[in-house]
A = this chain, B = another copy of it.
Amino acid sequence: MLSSRLRLTRSLPTAPLRLYRCQHTLPPSIAQLFKTPPPLDGELTVQGYVKSVRSLKKVAFVDLNDGSTSSNLMCVLTPEQAETLKTGQSVSFTGQWVQSKGKEQAYELKIIPGSENVKTIGKVPETYPLQKKLHTLQYLRTLPTLRWRTNYLASVLRFRSFTDSKLHDFFNKEGFFKTNPPIVTSSDCEGAGELFQIESKSILEDSKKPPFFGKNAYLTVSTQLHLEVLCASLGKVWTLSPTFRAEMSDTNRHLAEFWMLEAEIAFVDSVHQLTRFTENMIKHVVKDLVEDKNGAATDLLNGQRSTDDVDQVVEKLTKRWNNLYETRWASVTYLEALQILKDSGKEFKIPLKYEDGLASEHEKWLAGEYFKGPVFVTDYPKEIKPFYMRLNDDNKTVACFDLLVPDVGEIIGGSVREHDGAKLDREIKERGMKREELDWYMSTRENGTMPHGGFGLGFERLVCYLSGVENVRDVIPFPRAHEECEA
């Protein structure tokens, strides 16, 4: 192979090129410094944000954080050096990396004397709201761009990233392929939720022009139908994709824009292959928490807001993870679930009816009060489920499941799909759906159809459940909901 340098010298004898410029690397984050500590007593420059300043007579302490970990780097300065420092400022400190005398951290940064070793990069206004005190999550939501700088919410976003990574891991291990089904779709017939319609802004402003896509276009409410097509090609496929529902409901577990993990698996014919698989999937994430591998659990627990009940929160989460990991998860049929709810003698706000399915309060009671952990509910009545689910031999129920968990309720819904084209055709007709709009989808049934099944997991809900966060708005950076589109 020709050396690039050679080629360049040959072709460019005169041009003043510096082709291979000095190439810097990125500065290590505080998390990286803790994980792979630099040599003891060595000098280094660290950048981050001032979390708090404590000045005594002869010495000052600054908690420095750069968002990479919930453990602050303790910096030791002279009181003069700390004089102008304020919470929220971005700073650059030069000091020695030394062993800490305190019990709370292994290392600290001993700033080298002299004003040149303490630089303020970015100031904060007098009114900087994130002072070292407890803010309610509700108040923090009014600061959409600043709230992620709190140790607590930053740890939640890192936890979201950790969860994403572990799921990626799991699907790789299981021989799945990650795919990207379309976000824009021309099909409005699945009925999983209210649709958003889209059109080019400039076409909207000039009504004479035909639609951008040549027809009406919508944002997907679920990628499942397209994923089924891809599963007929690649066998085992998954995606983690934004989905959109124009619902007016204002609850702590609904968003108009949310991320859904969906998977579709060829040659699966039992709903319990799917429940087993999803149990393994979540256990794969939880395993790292139980073992605190790479410190993901520590980072989250450490980031818990310094309230009175922090010990309780830590105990609750640790217990939750252990319980998830160590038990085999319960599984009941819909009928059995109804029986349990009726036998409980508890008065629910929404009465129990076979044909109504389970309301959120029923789901939460089942998982939270009765099973005190996750529970699969399978085989719902056909009438309350979508057209594509496989009919059971009883001709009444379909081979489907929901996974219910304490506090959050439903986090996964899945089913075996009806792969018999004739039966599916009949179902589409009986429900009065437009067959021609589903022609593309039905091609999977007409060309080498095979048993298959899959599921959808509400990613924000899983993150809430595993991190103990109550409102989905606090696990997604910029929540979108009815009348809610800040920043």
Residues of A that sit less than 8 Å from B by CB: 1-4, 7-8, 11-12, 15-17, 19-29, 31-32, 47, 49, 66-68, 88-90, 121-125, 128, 144-146, 148-149, 153-154, 157-158, 160-161, 164-165, 168, 172, 174-175, 177-186, 188, 194-204, 212-215, 217-219, 226, 229-230, 232-236, 241-242, 244, 246, 256-257, 259, 265-268, 270, 272-273, 275-277, 279, 319, 322-323, 326-332, 336, 339-340, 343, 370-373, 419, 440-441, 443-451, 476-478, 480, 482-487
Contacts and interface: CB of A to CB of B under 8 A. Distances in A.
Contacts of A343: 12, 15
A477 to B, nearest CB: 6
Contact of A182 (B203, B340, B478): B478
A443 B268 CA distance: 51
Contacts of A154: 233-234
- Best-buried of A31, A331, A448 by chain B (most CB within 10 Å): A448
A451 to B, nearest CB: 7
A57 to B, nearest CB: 28
A398 B3 CA distance: 31
Contacts of A332: 17, 19
B233 A67 contact: yes
A181 B370 CA distance: 37
Contact of A236 (B26, B229, B233, B241): B26
B4 A184 contact: no
Contacts of A67: 232-235, 266
Contacts of A174: 26
B175 A68 contact: yes
A232 B451 contact: no
Q: What's the number of copies of this chain in the assembled complex? A: 2
Given A8-B371, A17-B332, A20-B331, 4 more contacts: A67-B233, A164-B178, A194-B201, A201-B218
A128 to B, nearest CB: 6
A51 B343 CA distance: 55
Given A172-B165, A234-B68, A485 B22 contact: no
Nearest to A228: B145
18 contacts: A4-B330, A4-B372, A23-B272, A25-B273, A25-B276, A32-B175, A47-B266, A68-B235, A88-B448, A121-B448, A145-B441, A180-B477, A195-B200, A196-B201, A197-B199, A198-B198, A212-B482, A440-B487
A165 B238 CA distance: 12
Nearest to A275: B23
B195 A201 contact: yes
A199 B444 CA distance: 32
B124 A485 contact: no
Given A322-B1, A483-B213, A448 B197 contact: no
A122 B90 contact: no
- Best-buried of A125, A200, A218, A236 by chain B (most CB within 10 Å): A200
Contacts of A477: 179-182, 226, 229-230
A157 B234 contact: yes
Nearest to A144: B440
B447 A122 contact: yes
Given A15-B343, A485-B214, A194 B188 contact: no
Contact of A233 (B11, B157, B197): B157
A448 B87 CA distance: 9
A451 B241 CA distance: 31
A273 B24 contact: yes
